Homo-oligomer: A and B are copies of this chain.
Amino acid sequence: MHSISELQNIIRKSFDPQAFKREPSELYDPIAYTLNLGGKRIRPLLVLLGCDLFHGDIDKAVPAAIAIELFHNFTLLHDDIMDRAPIRRGKETVYKKWNTNVAILSGDTMFALACVHLSQTDPDVLPLALSEFTKTARLVCEGQQYDMNFETLNVVSISDYIEMIRLKTAVLIGCSLKLGAILAKAPPAETERIYSFGENIGMAFQLQDDLLDVFGDEQKFGKEIGGDILSGKKTFLLLKAYEIAPEKVRSELNQCFSNKLIPGEEKINRVKKVYQLLKIKELTLEEIGKYFSKALQSLDDINEDETNKKALRSFANELLKRDF
């Protein structure tokens, strides 16, 4: 078994941005820039952790780990165009720094590169790995579409929202771990359990992301606080607030989101006040806890020594312990 920091070292070496420099520079510079922004490299780490838990050869899981991170960054690049997001990880997004065409095409190239890397997986596990990866890629696209649909809908149910974040975020976390397990030739029942662990951690992670957008620390979060409120994004917090708000509070929310004359900062503060009144932070933390428990149950069910699960357990704890 490897420690998390050993695995992180392997990943760090694999993402030397120089390795992604190539001609034409107009295409590959934005890719190197994106990969250079860093991020936590959670998904490739999960591929390696999934492989390690089932005693697989870590070196052989590296191409899939790189593939997953490239795919994830491709989705971010394109999502940033669609969401008109100017900042990612504290820096300008690609479409903002260059332009939309550059962001479209360098994103496409990252997807192609992800497939190039995945194709280097051992032939005996490649069919299963590819099938899992491609199924997930499709679901992630569906999730992004639901996310965009929600922008123009007046009413979105919490269950629709939950399904959207499952597709947009959680399935890729599950897939990362499952890929690692597949590469280690774990039995199908075990690959499903580790997938379920990942999917539920992913749900908790995304709900926490919603929470941090309102109650987080801008420096640590790497994005502007209150962005979701300013853009009127239907997050778990907002949908929950609408669900439980008494009439008067509901009209305050409506007022905040329909009156274009309210300055940004005031809008953020007024919505935050509603959230505090309705204890939305506590309710969101409760929901996060629910998914976290489900995740841990799946981890418990895996037939491996508790000592082998330690890395995944501490990873989950670490991930869900972000500062507020």
Please list the residues of chain A having a beta carbon within 8 angstroms of any beta carbon in chain B: 23-24, 26-27, 78, 81-82, 100-101, 104-105, 107-109, 111-113, 115-116, 118-119, 123, 126-127, 130-131, 133-135, 137-138, 140-142, 144-146, 148-149
| Among candidates B23, B100, B105, B126, residue contacting A144 with C-beta atoms closer than 8 Å | B105
Q: In the assembled complex, which residues on chain B have CB atoms less than 8 Å from the CB atom of A111?
A: 108, 111
| Contact call A115/B137, Cβ cutoff below 8 A | yes
Which chain B residue lies CB-closest to A143? B24
The interface residues of chain A, by DSSP majority, are classed as helix
- Per the bound structure, the CA–CA distance linking A123 and B137 in Å amounts to 20
| A153 smallest CB distance to B (angstroms) | 11
29 A-B pairs, CB-CB below 8 angstroms? Answer: A26-B148, A26-B149, A27-B141, A27-B145, A78-B108, A81-B100, A81-B101, A81-B104, A82-B101, A82-B104, A100-B100, A104-B104, A105-B144, A105-B145, A107-B108, A111-B111, A112-B138, A112-B140, A112-B141, A115-B133, A116-B131, A116-B137, A119-B127, A119-B131, A123-B123, A123-B127, A126-B126, A126-B127, A130-B130
| Contact call A112/B134, Cβ cutoff below 8 A | yes
Q: In the assembled complex, which residues on chain B have CB atoms less than 8 Å from the CB atom of A144?
A: 105
Query: Contacts A108-B108, A115-B115, A116-B135 given; 4 further ones with Cβ under 8 A?
Result: A104-B104, A109-B142, A118-B134, A126-B126
Which chain B residue lies CB-closest to A113? B138
- Per the bound structure, the CA–CA distance linking A7 and B150 in Å amounts to 43
Q: In the assembled complex, which residues on chain B have CB atoms less than 8 Å from the CB atom of A115?
A: 115, 130, 133-134, 137
Q: In the assembled complex, which residues on chain B have CB atoms less than 8 Å from the CB atom of A101?
A: 81-82, 148
- Per the bound structure, the CA–CA distance linking A97 and B178 in Å amounts to 39
- Per the bound structure, the CA–CA distance linking A135 and B115 in Å amounts to 9
- Per the bound structure, the CA–CA distance linking A21 and B152 in Å amounts to 22
Q: In the assembled complex, which residues on chain B have CB atoms less than 8 Å from the CB atom of A149?
A: 24, 26
- Per the bound structure, the CA–CA distance linking A23 and B145 in Å amounts to 10
| Contact call B105/A82, Cβ cutoff below 8 A | yes
- Per the bound structure, the CA–CA distance linking A200 and B182 in Å amounts to 40
- Per the bound structure, the CA–CA distance linking A138 and B112 in Å amounts to 5
| Contact call A145/B26, Cβ cutoff below 8 A | yes
| Contact call A141/B105, Cβ cutoff below 8 A | yes
